[in-house]
Amino acid sequence: MPSMTQTTAALGAILGSLLLAGCQSPAPDPAAFCKAGNALMDKRDLRGAAAEFDKAIKLDPTFAPAYVQLGVVNGRLGRIEAALAALDRAIALDPADPAAFFSRGAVLARTGQTEGALADYGRATALDPKLHEAWYAQAKLLDAAGQAQAAIAAYRHFLEAAPHDSEREIHTATFRIKVLEGQQKRGK
């Protein structure tokens, strides 16, 4: 039978190893780097955010969400080629991610590539019909291109999917539908 000293020592060793295990840093996680990058994006630290997304990619080169976010950041920084490269990689890794198509569509729209942007917005909404941001962006591009019927349809899809806190966009969509329908009635 072990002595009280031996039992205390054994319990101390077990407790010590448990405490050490709890104090050790967890294995790096690409999602954690993305979370940190998103927090930096919220603070408008785009370069810092890009660095966090790069860390996620270095840790796991197959982690598609990091490429999406890196593409978004690069697009906001005006690094169009880098943005498109990151978003193309995200789509190659996860072709069922509507956020990747929506984000690439936004970059293409920003560079005047309307046809490509509309195609990507269409893919995004096909993958997620409730992705109201993609419906709204698609509607605005179609509206600007003079495609009234398609714009009205996209605005209506947006209104079906939009959360109630999108008041400004809801007002704009409702207004544009009325304007476009009025123009169609007058034959414009």
Residue 132 lies in a domain: no
Residue 39 lies in a domain: yes
Confidence (pLDDT) at 22: 44
Residue 79 lies in a domain: yes
Do residues 69 and 106 lie in contact, with contact meaning Cβ atoms separated by under 8 Å? no
The model's pTM is: 0.81
Percent of the chain topping pLDDT 70:
85
Percent of the chain topping pLDDT 90:
71
SS3 of residue 170 by DSSP: helix
Residue recorded with tokens 């109201």: 132
Higher-confidence position of 52 and 18: 52
**pLDDT per residue over 145-185, tens digit each?**
999 999 999 999 999 998 877 888 998 999 999 899 888 88
Q: Could you list the residue range(s) of the whole structural domain that residue 71 is in? A: 27-94
Place 188 in a pLDDT band, splitting at 50, 70 and 90. low
Confidence (pLDDT) at 185: 84
Count of structural domains within the chain: 1
Residue 45 lies in a domain: yes
**pLDDT per residue over 107-131, tens digit each?**
999 999 999 999 999 999 999 999 9
Of the candidates 127, 121, 122, 100, the one whose C-alpha atom is nearest the C-alpha of residue 109 is 121
State how far the Cα of 16 lies from the Cα of 65, in Å rounded to an integer: 38
Place 16 in a pLDDT band, splitting at 50, 70 and 90. very low
Residue 188 lies in a domain: no
Place 31 in a pLDDT band, splitting at 50, 70 and 90. very high
Of the candidates 73, 77, 79, 75, the one whose C-alpha atom is nearest the C-alpha of residue 55 is 73
- Domain of 63, CATH number, reads 1.25.40.10
Residue 177 lies in a domain: no
